[in-house]
Structures are given as structure tokens and as C-alpha cells.
């Protein structure tokens, strides 16, 4: 099961609304349309016999934010690892996804690395992805992870980097065309 400390990396509740403004002065509202939890049964295949099966439950959490007024969606996926594969280390990973929708119904997906929740501060600091203070437009944010992504079609308009912190979640978005969005 995910611990309350692990779940705290995701500050969103269903129906939350977050307003963003871009570098051109346009605004959009992100709305949390779902925050779902799923339980999975994991089995220890190495110690399974006809009479006995070792198993446990793991928990995953999926949160989706859709933008109103801009062709974007953002997701937060929190996943507990398979404890049988890594025993005795049990941990959770957080991953993010960003989708840009185009007029011709092609979707452009930006993928970001899976990060271990328990090590996220040390990992982002060691890899140059941590900002004590981030200034975007007229706003300042503290303790921010600047997480670069990759896109399935790099020549399309897509999200290059997300800026995220534990307290507010998504605070900024850097797009491939040089435009950026910041939480108001």
C-alpha cells in the first residue's frame, strides 16, 4: 500500500482547478477530472507451488488534469513497486505525462522519467533538476523539480520541461516553441 508520505507528492483532489497564464498573456484552466486508486495482487512466482502462493497487494494512483482553453492534458501516476522483485526494498515511483492535442487529431505525448518518491529530492539535486527558487514571469516558486521530457514526435509542438513541487503540483510548463505557462 502507498503510504501517506508517498501520496503527498500529489497535492491534487478531484475537481480542483488551477489557472495558468502563458508568456503571451493567454490563460487556461486545468481541472482535475479524475484521481483514481487501483489495487493489484502481486504474486511471488519464485516461491509459488501448487499448494502455496505468496501474494500481496500493491496500490497505484492515477490523476488526470484537462486544460480548458488550451489543447493540453497532464497526468500524475504514482505506482508502488512489485515488492517481490525488489525485496526487502519497497518504494513508490511517480511519473508524469503531458499531451498536446492538435487540430488534425494527432496527439503529441511528452514523457518524463520515473522518479522514486523517497529519493526525489536527492536525485533531482544530483542531476541538476532541482531549483530552490524558480522565477517564471511575475511568479516565484520554491523547492521546484525541473523535469525534462522527451516527445514521440520531436518536431511537433510539445512540452519540453515541467516544473513541479510537492506543495502545489504543476507550477510551470516550458513548450518546444519557446512559450511557457505559469500557475497563477
Query: What per-residue confidence (pLDDT) applies to 111?
Result: 79
Query: What per-residue confidence (pLDDT) applies to 150?
Result: 85
* Separation between Cα atoms, residue 182 and residue 140, nearest integer Å: 10
Q: Is 22 left (phi over 0), alpha (psi -120 to 50) or beta?
A: beta
Mean pLDDT value of segment 129-140: 94
Q: Which of 21-25, 78-82, 96-100, 133-137 has the lowest mean pLDDT?
A: 78-82
Query: What per-residue confidence (pLDDT) applies to 132?
Result: 96
| Structural domain boundaries in the chain | 4-183
* Separation between Cα atoms, residue 77 and residue 95, nearest integer Å: 5
SS3 85: helix
Query: What per-residue confidence (pLDDT) applies to 1?
Result: 81
Over the stretch 138-181, which tens digit does the pLDDT of each residue have? 899 999 999 998 887 777 788 889 999 999 999 999 988 899 99
Query: What per-residue confidence (pLDDT) applies to 86?
Result: 63
Residue 88 belongs to what H/E stretch?
Answer: none
User: Global pTM?
Assistant: 0.85
Over the stretch 59-115, which tens digit does the pLDDT of each residue have? 889 999 999 877 888 999 998 876 666 666 678 889 898 888 766 556 678 878 889
Q: Is the pLDDT of residue 135 over 90?
A: yes
Mean pLDDT value of segment 49-54: 56
* Separation between Cα atoms, residue 18 and residue 37, nearest integer Å: 22
Q: Is the pLDDT of residue 127 over 90?
A: yes
Q: Name the more confident of 86 and 13.
A: 13
Amino acid at each position: 500500500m502507498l503510504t501517506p508520505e508517498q501520496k503527498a507528492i500529489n497535492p491534487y483532489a478531484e475537481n480542483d482547478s488551477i489557472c495558468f497564464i502563458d508568456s503571451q498573456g493567454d490563460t487556461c484552466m486545468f481541472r482535475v477530472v479524475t484521481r483514481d486508486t487501483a489495487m493489484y495482487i502481486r504474486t511471488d512466482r519464485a516461491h509459488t507451488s501448487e499448494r502455496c502462493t505468496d501474494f500481496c497487494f500493491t496500490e497505484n494512483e492515477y490523476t488526470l488534469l484537462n486544460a480548458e482553453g488550451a489543447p493540453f492534458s497532464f497526468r500524475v501516476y504514482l505506482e508502488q513497486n512489485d515488492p517481490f522483485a525488489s525485496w526487502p526494498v519497497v518504494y513508490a515511483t511517480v511519473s508524469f505525462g503531458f499531451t498536446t492535442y492538435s487540430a488534425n487529431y494527432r496527439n503529441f505525448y511528452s514523457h518524463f522519467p520515473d522518479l522514486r518518491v523517497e529519493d526525489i529530492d536527492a536525485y533531482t539535486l544530483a542531476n541538476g533538476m532541482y531549483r530552490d527558487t524558480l522565477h517564471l514571469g511575475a511568479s516565484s516558486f520554491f523547492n521546484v523539480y525541473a523535469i525534462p521530457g522527451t516527445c514521440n514526435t520531436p518536431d511537433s509542438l510539445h512540452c519540453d520541461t515541467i516544473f513541479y513541487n510537492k506543495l502545489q503540483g504543476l507550477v510551470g510548463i516550458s513548450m518546444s516553441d519557446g512559450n511557457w505557462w505559469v500557475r497563477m
